[in-house]
Homo-oligomer: A and B are copies of this chain.
Amino acid sequence: MKQEITFIQREQLKTKPDTASLGFGRYFSDYMFEMDYHSDLGWFNPRITPYEPLTLEPSSMVFHYGQAIFEGMKAYKTPDSSIQLFRPEKNMKRLNDSCDRLCIPRIDEEFLLEGIKQLIVTEKDWVPNGEGTSLYIRPFIFSTEPYLGVRPANQYKLLVILSPSGAYYGSQLSPVKIYVEEQYVRAVIGGVGHVKTAGNYAASLKAQEKADAGGYAQILWLDAKENKYVEEVGSMNIFFKIKGEVVTPRLNGSILPGVTRDSVIELLKYWNIPVREEKISIEEVFAAHQRGELEEVFGAGTAAVISPVGELTWKDQSITINGNNIGQLSQDIYNELTGIQLGKKEDPFNWTVKVTEVEV
């Protein structure tokens, strides 16, 4: 039984920002999707409603006990001016994985995706169409019950907000400097690193502060148990091209299973380029460089799609990768994925989902 999605009209629409000045995460559209949960009612009252401030008790559990999860995905305008999503069902599934780990009641994935599509149809004029732009989609859930005490809440709110976002890169990809963090850790097996919960990002800020101070763009995270195996780079998954083969850390319970990561792996297989998911130590990476075999390193995530790494520092060693230039494979993957996402290239994987076809 599907619920009706109510529409609540706003009095006045906002003035849309200039595409050139969009940046990321600063502007929000006119409407949002909202739905509430109460243990007596389940998820109820789905609605598309004006984007406006929320009213929350100071005792709302989210402020104290941090039950908060989110997703991040994008809507793209294609050359024929239709709007499409990229593998959104993966984000819906991951949201439910986050629900499970954080003791938040699961959502109906299909229904939420329909709600998101309906929201985007409503907000279609907010999807920018400049080079590299997109409409960022942020579904999130947090506990609202007014109660102090450590236990899963009985009340939650789910929201989906939309933010038009500018090009991540200027005219082309640019390699970044990263460093291997050995003091702080992002996640540990048995913890919550494999899901998208707010606390993971709060915990990562201190190391990012160190990175900034040292002139690095991102952190290369190691595993928390042995401080030895590579896990992720900033908020992206990481790939190494070593002697013609691509390696990425195996999902081990403390790595976030990125949608981009999965797409890169699929694409490489399709191209018949050897790709392996396995434990890889930072020593191995540096040893491969010593042997002259470390050809490319790149991060992969929804925001940047592909982020080439030009320089990598571990303790007092710094290595330059591919002469600090964008690797050919990094560039090819970037072109292919963005081409598919923007509807400029064929999509042999059936990854894209047209929004404008929706009938809710």
Contacts and interface: CB of A to CB of B under 8 A. Distances in A.
Interface stretch (A80-88, A112-120, A146-154, A326-334): A146-154
Interface in A18-65: 24-26, 28, 32, 51, 53-59, 62-65
A88 B129 CA distance: 56
Nearest to A148: B25
Interface stretch (A186-194, A305-313, A335-343, A346-354): A186-194
Given A148-B136, A152-B205, A58 B199 contact: no
A188 B235 CA distance: 19
B203 A199 contact: yes
B199 A161 contact: no
Contact of A225 (B102, B147, B225): B225
A201 interface: yes
A56 B56 contact: yes
A190 B26 contact: no
A51 B151 CA distance: 23
B56 A204 contact: no
Contacts of A200: 66, 199
A25 B59 CA distance: 9
B150 A235 contact: yes
Contacts of A26: 147
Contacts of A205: 65, 67, 102-103, 150-152
A204 B200 CA distance: 13
Contacts of A188: 185, 188, 191, 224-225
Interface residues of A, number: 62
Nearest to A51: B58
A300 interface: no
A5 to B, nearest CB: 18
Interface string A201-228: 1111110110000000000000011000
- What's the number of copies of this chain in the assembled complex? 2
Contacts of A235: 150
A205 B204 CA distance: 21
A285 to B, nearest CB: 20
Nearest to A161: B58
A16 interface: no
Given A57-B53, A103-B205, A185-B191, A62 B64 contact: no
16 contacts: A28-B146, A51-B58, A54-B55, A54-B57, A59-B161, A63-B68, A63-B198, A64-B138, A65-B205, A67-B205, A150-B204, A151-B205, A190-B224, A197-B203, A198-B198, A198-B199
Given A24-B148, A66-B201, A152-B205, 13 more contacts: A24-B149, A28-B59, A54-B56, A55-B55, A65-B202, A102-B205, A103-B206, A136-B148, A150-B234, A150-B235, A185-B188, A191-B203, A199-B203
Interface of A: 24-26, 28, 32, 51, 53-59, 62-68, 70, 101-103, 136, 138, 140, 142, 146-152, 159, 161, 163, 183-185, 188-192, 197-206, 208-209, 224-225, 234-235
